[in-house]
Amino acid sequence: MTIAELLAHSPDILCLQEVDRLDKVLPPLHGAGYAHTYAAGPFKKHGCMIVHRESRLDKIAERKIVYDEVPFGEKADGSPRAGIGRVTKNIGLLVALQDKTDSTKGCIVATTHLFWHPRYVIRILHTAG
């Protein structure tokens, strides 16, 4: 039902998360004229997918970002500082698409897995004063 609902809207681009069972998902998408780019975090059974209409758009580049591997900020000595937090195995997926009828037009599309759980919320207390 999910695939039928998505295809009923005839989109040029779809951004999906929590995608698994590719053996069931891809045949109807490909049959309807769509190409896909899929990526998942290390050892995850589901991932993110960007789907585009092949007759309208060409994929010219793609990039997967594994958030657990991305340094943020710098230490005092200038070396990269790694995140300190829960390892989530979550990713971001970016795809650059170019319009087939006008090569001066295109877009970069992204979809992502993010992590939130109430147990890992940092509570900030404000005091009047």
Taken in order of first residue, the domains within the chain and their CATH numbers are 2-120 (3.60.10.10)
Res 11 pLDDT > 80: yes
Other Cβ atoms less than 10 A from the Cβ of 110: the count is: 13
**Mean residue pLDDT across the chain:** 87
SS3 state of residue 21: coil
C-beta of residue 39 within 8 angstroms of C-beta of residue 48:
yes
**Angstrom distance (rounded) from CA 1 to CA 12:** 19
In this prediction, residue 93 carries a pLDDT of 97
**Angstrom distance (rounded) from CA 71 to CA 38:** 23
Res 3 pLDDT > 70: yes
Q: Convert the pLDDT of each residue in 45-94 to its tens digit.
A: 999 999 999 999 999 999 999 988 887 777 888 887 766 566 788 899 99
Reported confidence tier of residue 121, pLDDT bands at 50, 70, 90: low
SS3 state of residue 10: coil
